Homo-oligomer: A and B are copies of this chain.
């Protein structure tokens, strides 16, 4: 595979920014079909173990080619929502047997859901802080300190402030010495970032995300001191204060 011919300039690394020529939110057919099938599974029309209509039938129902249906099913299959059996059909899988955790962005904006996810993330952040205090290395402390120093410079901006906060938390998670914590917390941080930005725009919310350097400084000091209890308390306080600033009651 000779693959470095792509121009990174075409930068799809920012998938949230549709290009003008693509009519905004108009989705490709294969994605629409996947979404519609997924909705009927969520709605209970197809229960675990149920067989979906054949590809041929779905192609007729949706008035698309069978290729489009196959690609849509490939998406659902990748998520473990369905499993295909050659010669038989595609079958709905039990939710707990799915292969991935996915947080729906629209669902996250619904009442109470941001709070719930905050609650879950909080438990993991606090755990990560405690572990980081026990396991951090010198280079990791330097990395956290670097992330902390970025927060001084970003103080007057909004998006960059959130990003600096996420970077700090990522550095702490990395010091926890648990790769799954890194993966989970990174994912959760970014999902919440997108939602906070969206809710802010949608509601014309003018709240400035105040960066409280002191809270982060306190976490850093507890990590430096290698004191897990202090680290957990500092993180708990920080998360609690952050929730308050977003009018989320924990």
Contact = CB atoms under 8 A, between A and B. Distances in A.
A30 B74 contact: yes
Interface residues of A, number: 78
Contacts of A50: 3-4, 6, 8
Interface in A106-148: 113, 116-117, 119-120, 122-124, 126-127, 131
A184 B180 CA distance: 13
Interface in A180-200: 180-181, 183-184, 186-187, 189-190
A12 B92 CA distance: 7
A181 B120 contact: yes
Nearest to A61: B1
A11 B100 contact: no
A120 B184 contact: yes
Interface stretch (A76-84, A149-157, A217-225, A239-247): A76-84
A1 B53 contact: yes
Quick one: copies of this chain in the complex? 2
A79 B100 contact: yes
B180 A120 contact: yes
A184 B74 contact: no
Contacts of A46: 3
Nearest to A12: B91
B67 A12 contact: no
B13 A53 contact: no
A124 B13 CA distance: 31
Given A78-B78, A127-B123, A179-B113, A3 B51 contact: yes
A71 interface: yes
